[in-house]
């Protein structure tokens, strides 16, 4: 099967010499798709923040900054003369403007009415076809699948088939936190590892919900994994309620390194990696 | 003040506090009682560390905020003065945001940052409105303009650091949730100066009610009293902001309600305001807790209090007596020789040309050359829209300043931009695929219609008050969206900061056309404006149909404001400063002033557009926020210059 795809890819590449080479990604999930396909984008939006918040996959040094994700710099994009621009629905309002500069592809990755994890794979494939990179896409998927299977085995072995449930949160303030439920990338990572979500939430477009600290008191079983960085960590840990939480008293809290929760397939694998590491 | 009223208020406070404790917890009273001695279950733990401190904090902070507002109202003799309406809360918040974004590692103490920021804001309001005018509408006008300005400064800081700021947004939206008694214990010793000073201040403040001159004649050191009282008020408000973020309204409503209930003596007024403050905050927090239980999302306390307090505030605005401001007696002490308009035209054209051909190339180097067709297509709509907005705001500001005979009047205070923003918020809340412009313009239209209906029935000063009331309501509603700290929050912040980014060519042309037509009409009515500038009685005497003329002028300014704010949101200070600047630059007649103000408006916004594209390249800052900042600084510089010349 794979060999046919590769053949098809080669055929396409010989026919379509004009496959886009200079691509600008104006959303972080699109940046992730491109890097996964082995395509180095010409420029991405919010380059510095990407390096701080998404971290992986690493952005090569030569990639330029295209301005903010809310209002990318149209004049710079124009001056860079890209062959393809990729946006998400936040920029749908300026798609017509971008279209004047170069063909613009809108990737709608996060919706309440589709499965975000499946959509990430589907959209990355769509991009691969457009960029003539189908072979790379297939190889990438294979590699991710292998890695996830390996992680799943490791976790299963470690807990003898009974891994603990985990609850993944990101603190917003010492009293409130975002948690990840149905349709979120962390839950997709848990599913891939065969782990249950210890704090299930109703389905939403991004799968995140803002919650209050006392709700963590109901976390009887499983581990609490909180995503760094949180700059008021000390305030939180000092508070009496935090110290009295069952999950804290029984030392079932682990910190996760900076990991991006609104990305694509790479993000899922990376979340799975940090979960597996935290469980060890 | 009668004793039964006091007992009743005290009773209501305790009742509400009891209800507040009960609404959050599923425990029975016996279990709650037991929890106070010995915590056995998890629910009891949550009860002791979450519900009880939250109630305590609601009572204490309600009192603290009411006292802060009450002190300011007594000092300024202005029934609508408060940290919210004078812009000092915005100053405190701005200082905290800037420190958090610029120096996140320093971890400066929040209460001192808040005090510094609010002192800065109060100084600006004093300088803008005139220290002797704090009792009048002028203080509120300056305060509201400052609110918008500082809000957009904070918004720029937040947007340049958006990932980091998400937590800042959630924290700053004023929520009373607690994890333990730490904040209560933090707060109590810091309240000591208030408890010591307030009894000492009551008598001099009572004396001040005679008027500052009479009080000074009676041997009162008015200056010292003013400094101590305002510092105390700002300190109290700063404590509240440091503890829970911004919660408006309480500081304004509680003392005003106390006065309506008949507590006029400072001691009575402050005491009753404190109780009413506790009641208001408890009530709002009960609503917030109850709604958060029943909605999928968390509702911050500040949003609940906005929903409760907004309508009351609007009612108060229409009801309370307010000293009308004195006409600007100082006038404009220096005037240059009148310059030929043609010269200004050339200068403006030159500036616009320069802004049109300057930019940065792909590598970030300056590039000054005639843009090719593609680049030009990206550049001209936003630039044209910005220029049109500058002209329109200048014209609308001029009309309003003449109409109200008040140099601090400006179109962003009419409530139309607040209506547009509220419409936008509703649109976001519904989450349709319809153009957001549809919602913002319908919000603005509703307010404009209400204004036209009210115009013949209410004095113009009242209409402005209504606009201020609406702006406060908007701020409360904003908290609700910002508190979620998600993508919508940032889009909204961006829009509120006055971005021209999404302007299409059609919109730009339509806006310019509208502004030109309405500007032309204003030119025709220059004589009417002149007559209004001489005062309504005089205008009536020479045969002007004042009520009709008033509606017409309001409609003109309102339409301009509608066209601009439905696209760019509120733009502070531009409409306030430009007409003044035109006079400073030598405009002698109304027509000259109109021309000159709109020329400067176009040139200034053109420059702002250039700066927005290039200063933080490749990031962009909203044009509106930049222009507001420039105009605000111009005003402050102008004021300082005037002070020096007078000294």
B372 close contact with A: CB closer than 8 A: no
Clarify whether residues B360 and B293 are in a common domain: no
Provide the phi-psi class of B397: left if phi over 0, else alpha when psi is between -120 and 50, else beta. Answer: alpha
**CA angle (B151 as vertex; B326, B514 as ends), nearest 5:** 75
A89 close contact with B: CB closer than 8 A: no
Clarify whether residues B563 and B426 are in a common domain: yes
Residue where the block lists tokens 């009676």: B218
The Cα B628–Cα A258 span in angstroms is 37
Clarify whether residues B495 and B602 are in a common domain: yes
From A266, A261, A227, A264, select the one nearest A57 (Cα to Cα): A266
Least trusted range by pLDDT, from A63-67, B146-150, B248-252, B474-478: B474-478
Cis peptide bond upstream of B175, omega within 30 = no
Asked if residue B495 belongs to a domain, the reply is: yes
Asked if residue B115 belongs to a domain, the reply is: yes
Asked if residue B329 belongs to a domain, the reply is: no
From B386, B392, B456, B451, select the one nearest B416 (Cα to Cα): B451
Helices B416-430 and B460-482, packing angle to 10 deg: 30
pLDDT for residue B219: 85
Clarify whether residues B264 and B360 are in a common domain: no
B159 close contact with A: CB closer than 8 A: yes
Clarify whether residues B440 and B482 are in a common domain: yes
Structure tokens of A214? 């006392």
Contact B170 A90 (CB under 8 A): no
Q: Which domain holds residue B488?
A: 348-646
How far off is chain A from B189, nearest CA to CA, in Å? 19
Q: Is the dihedral of CA B87, B91, B92, B93 positive or negative?
A: positive
Coil vs helix vs strand at A225: strand
Clarify whether residues B311 and B353 are in a common domain: no
Clarify whether residues B310 and B358 are in a common domain: no
- DSSP 8-state symbol, A67: B
B454 pLDDT higher than 60:
yes
Residue B23: C-alpha distances to residues A175, A211, B20, B290, B392 (Å):
19, 18, 5, 7, 51
pLDDT in tens, A208-245: 888 889 889 888 888 999 997 787 888 899 998 999 89
A110 close contact with B: CB closer than 8 A: no
**Looking at residues B166-179, what average pLDDT do you find?**
74
Least trusted range by pLDDT, from A167-181, B34-48, B449-463, B526-540: B449-463
Structure tokens of A162? 């009974």
Q: How confident is the model at residue A117 (pLDDT cuts 50, 70, 90)?
A: very high
Contact B618 A210 (CB under 8 A): no
CA dihedral of A31, A33, A35, A41, whole degrees rounded to 10: -50
Clarify whether residues B532 and B588 are in a common domain: yes
- Which stretches within B47-87 are classed as H helix? 52-76
The Cα B63–Cα B52 span in angstroms is 17
pLDDT for residue A122: 93
Asked if residue B250 belongs to a domain, the reply is: yes
Q: How high is the ipTM of this complex?
A: 0.80
pLDDT for residue B296: 63
A272 pLDDT higher than 70:
yes
pLDDT for residue B121: 92
How far off is chain A from B19, nearest CA to CA, in Å? 20
Structure tokens of B36? 């106070």
From B382, B331, B343, select the one nearest B595 (Cα to Cα): B343
The Cα B495–Cα A24 span in angstroms is 25
Clarify whether residues B289 and B361 are in a common domain: no
Clarify whether residues B315 and B199 are in a common domain: yes
The CATH architecture assigned to A149-279 reads 3-Layer(aba) Sandwich (3.40)
**Residue B431 CB: number of other CB atoms within 10 A?**
9
Q: How confident is the model at residue B446 (pLDDT cuts 50, 70, 90)?
A: confident
pLDDT for residue B432: 62
Which of B319, B338, B364 marks a domain boundary? Answer: B319
pLDDT in tens, A5-61: 665 555 555 445 566 789 999 999 999 999 999 999 999 998 888 888 888 889 999
Contact B362 A213 (CB under 8 A): no
* Cα nearest neighbour of B105 on chain A: A231
Cite the residue boundaries of each domain of chain A with CATH code 3.40.50.1980: 2-139, 149-279
Residue B227: C-alpha distances to residues B75, B233, B266 (Å):
10, 10, 17
pLDDT for residue B331: 43
pLDDT for residue A36: 93
B647 pLDDT higher than 60:
no
The Cα B348–Cα B597 span in angstroms is 11
Asked whether A98 and A77 are in contact (CB, 8 A), the reply is yes
From B247, B296, B44, B303, select the one nearest A211 (Cα to Cα): B296
% of chain B residues with pLDDT over 90: 25
Mean pLDDT of chain B: 83
B615 close contact with A: CB closer than 8 A: no
pLDDT for residue B64: 95
Q: How confident is the model at residue B235 (pLDDT cuts 50, 70, 90)?
A: very high
First to last CA, chain A: 37
B612 close contact with A: CB closer than 8 A: no
Q: What CATH number corresponds to the domain at position B50?
A: 1.10.3470.10
B434 close contact with A: CB closer than 8 A: no
B448 pLDDT higher than 50:
yes
- Helix/strand/coil (H, E, C) string of B161-176? CHHHHHHHHHHHCCCC
Clarify whether residues B9 and B94 are in a common domain: yes
The Cα B179–Cα A176 span in angstroms is 10
- Which stretches within B569-622 are classed as H helix? 574-584, 590-614
Clarify whether residues B361 and B311 are in a common domain: no
Q: How confident is the model at residue B171 (pLDDT cuts 50, 70, 90)?
A: low
Asked whether B174 and B244 are in contact (CB, 8 A), the reply is yes
The closest CB to that of A75, out of B177, B178, B375, belongs to B375
Cis peptide bond upstream of A57, omega within 30 = yes
Least trusted range by pLDDT, from A224-228, B188-192, B308-312: B308-312
How far off is chain A from B179, nearest CA to CA, in Å? 5
What CATH number matches the domain at A2-139, 3.40.50.300, 3.30.43.10, 3.40.50.1980, 3.40.50.2300? Answer: 3.40.50.1980
Interface of B with A in 31-50 (CB under 8 A): 42, 45-46, 49-50
* Cα nearest neighbour of A170 on chain B: B167
pLDDT in tens, B506-564: 989 999 999 999 999 999 888 888 888 777 777 788 877 878 888 888 889 989 988 89
Least trusted range by pLDDT, from A83-92, A183-192, B146-155: B146-155
Which of B300, B319, B338 marks a domain boundary? Answer: B319
The Cα B267–Cα B67 span in angstroms is 11
Asked if residue B439 belongs to a domain, the reply is: yes
Provide the phi-psi class of A196: left if phi over 0, else alpha when psi is between -120 and 50, else beta. Answer: beta
pLDDT for residue B588: 79
Asked if residue B341 belongs to a domain, the reply is: no
Count up the domains in chain B and report the number.
Answer: 2
% of chain A residues with pLDDT over 90: 54
pLDDT for residue B297: 66
**Looking at residues B481-495, what average pLDDT do you find?**
69
B504 close contact with A: CB closer than 8 A: yes
All residues of chain B having their beta carbon less than 8 Å from the beta carbon of residue A70 are: 159, 162, 490-491, 494
Asked if residue B164 belongs to a domain, the reply is: yes
B223 pLDDT higher than 80:
yes
């Amino acid at each position: 099967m794979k060999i046919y795809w590769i053949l098809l890819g080669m055929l396409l590449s010989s026919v379509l010499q004009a496959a886009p080479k200079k691509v600008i990604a104006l959303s972080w999930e699109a940046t992730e798709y491109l890097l996964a396909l082995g395509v180095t984008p010409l420029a991405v939006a919010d380059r510095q923040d990407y390096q701080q918040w998404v971290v992986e996959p690493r952005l090569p040094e030569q990639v330029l900054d295209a301005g903010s994700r809310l209002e990318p710099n149209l004049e710079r994009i124009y001056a860079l003369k890209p062959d393809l621009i990729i946006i998400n629905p936040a920029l749908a309002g300026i798609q017509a403007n971008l279209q004047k500069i170069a063909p613009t592809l809108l990737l709608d990755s996060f919706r309440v009415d589709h499965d975000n994890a499946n959509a990430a794979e589907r959209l990355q494939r769509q991009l691969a076809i457009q960029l003539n990179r189908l072979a790379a896409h297939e190889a990438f998927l294979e590699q991710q699948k292998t890695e996830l299977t390996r992680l799943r085995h490791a976790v299963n072995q470690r807990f003898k088939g009974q891994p603990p449930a985990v609850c993944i949160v990101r603190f917003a303030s010492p009293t409130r936190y975002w948690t990840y439920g149905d349709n979120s990338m962390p839950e997709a990572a848990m599913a891939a590892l065969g782990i249950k979500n210890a704090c299930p939430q109703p389905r939403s477009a991004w799968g995140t919900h803002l919650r209050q600290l006392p709700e963590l008191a109901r976390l009887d079983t499983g581990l609490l994994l909180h995503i760094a960085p949180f700059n008021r960590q000390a305030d939180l840990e000092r508070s009496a309620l935090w110290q009295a939480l069952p999950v804290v008293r029984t030392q079932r809290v682990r910190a996760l390194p900076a990991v991006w929760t609104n990305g694509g397939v790479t993000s899922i694998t990376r979340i799975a990696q940090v979960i597996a590491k935290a469980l060890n | 003040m009668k004793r039964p009223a006091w007992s009743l208020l005290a009773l209501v406070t305790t009742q509400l506090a009891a209800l507040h404790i009960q609404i959050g917890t599923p425990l029975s009273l016996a279990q709650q009682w037991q929890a106070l001695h010995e915590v056995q279950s998890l629910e009891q733990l949550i009860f002791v560390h979450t519900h009880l401190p939250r109630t305590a904090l609601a009572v204490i902070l309600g009192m603290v905020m009411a006292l802060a507002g009450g002190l300011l109202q007594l000092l300024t003799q202005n029934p609508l003065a408060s940290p919210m309406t004078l812009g000092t809360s915005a100053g405190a918040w701005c200082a905290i945001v800037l420190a958090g974004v610029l120096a996140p590692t320093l971890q400066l103490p929040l209460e001192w940052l808040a005090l510094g920021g609010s002192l800065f804001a109060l100084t600006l309001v004093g300088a803008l409105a005139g220290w002797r005018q704090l009792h009048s509408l002028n203080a509120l006008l300056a305060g509201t303009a400052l609110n918008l300005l500082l809000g957009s400064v904070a918004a720029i800081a937040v947007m340049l650091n958006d990932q980091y700021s998400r937590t800042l947004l959630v924290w700053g939206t004023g929520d009373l949730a607690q994890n333990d008694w730490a904040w209560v214990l933090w707060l109590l010793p810091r309240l000591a100066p208030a408890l010591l000073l307030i009894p000492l201040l009551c008598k001099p403040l009572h004396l001040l009610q005679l008027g500052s001159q009479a009080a000074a004649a009676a041997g009162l050191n008015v200056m010292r009293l003013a400094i101590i009282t305002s510092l105390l008020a700002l300190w109290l408000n700063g404590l509240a902001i440091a503890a829970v973020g911004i919660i408006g309204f309480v500081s304004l409503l509680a003392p005003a309600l106390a006065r309506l209930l008949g507590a006029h003596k400072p001691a009575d007024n402050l005491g009753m305001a404190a109780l009413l403050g506790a009641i208001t905050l408890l009530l709002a927090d009960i609503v917030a807790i109850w709604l958060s239980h029943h909605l999928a999302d968390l509702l911050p306390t500040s949003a609940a209090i906005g929903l409760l307090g907004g309508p009351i505030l609007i009612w108060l605005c229409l009801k309370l007596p307010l000293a009308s401001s004195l006409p600007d007696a100082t006038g404009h002490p220096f005037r240059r020789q009148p310059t030929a308009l043609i010269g200004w035209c050339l200068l403006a054209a030159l500036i616009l040309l320069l802004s049109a051909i300057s930019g940065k190339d792909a590598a970030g180097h300056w590039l000054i050359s005639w843009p090719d067709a593609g680049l030009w297509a990206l550049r001209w709509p936003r630039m044209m829209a910005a220029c049109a907005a500058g002209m329109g705001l200048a014209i609308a500001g001029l009309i309003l300043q003449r109409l109200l005979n008040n140099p601090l009047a400006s179109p962003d205070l009419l409530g139309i931009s607040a209506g547009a923003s509220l419409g936008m918020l509703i649109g976001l809340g519904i989450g349709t695929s319809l153009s957001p412009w549809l919602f913002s313009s319908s919000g603005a239209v509703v307010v404009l219609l209400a204004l036209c209906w009210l115009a013949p029935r209410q004095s113009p000063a009242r209409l402005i008050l209504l606009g201020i009331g609406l702006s406060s309501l908007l701020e409360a509603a904003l908290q609700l969206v910002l508190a979620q700290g998600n993508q919508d929050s940032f889009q909204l912040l961006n829009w509120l900061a006055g971005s021209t980014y999404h302007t299409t060519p059609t919109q730009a042309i339509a806006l310019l056309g509208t502004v030109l037509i309405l500007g032309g009409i204003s030119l025709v009515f220059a004589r009417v404006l002149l007559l209004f500038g001489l005062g309504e009685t005089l205008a009536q005497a020479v045969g002007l149909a004042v009520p009709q003329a008033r509606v017409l002028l309001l409609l003109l300014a309102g339409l301009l404001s509608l066209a601009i704010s439905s696209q760019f949101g509120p733009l502070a200070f531009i409409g306030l400063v430009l007409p003044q600047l035109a006079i400073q630059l030598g405009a002698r007649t109304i027509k000259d002033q109109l021309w000159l103000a709109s020329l400067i408006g176009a040139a200034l916004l053109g420059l702002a557009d250039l700066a927005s594209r290039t200063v933080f390249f490749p990031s962009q800052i909203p044009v509106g926020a930049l222009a507001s900042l420039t105009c605000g600084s111009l005003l402050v510089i102008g004021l300082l210059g005037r002070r020096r010349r007078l000294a």
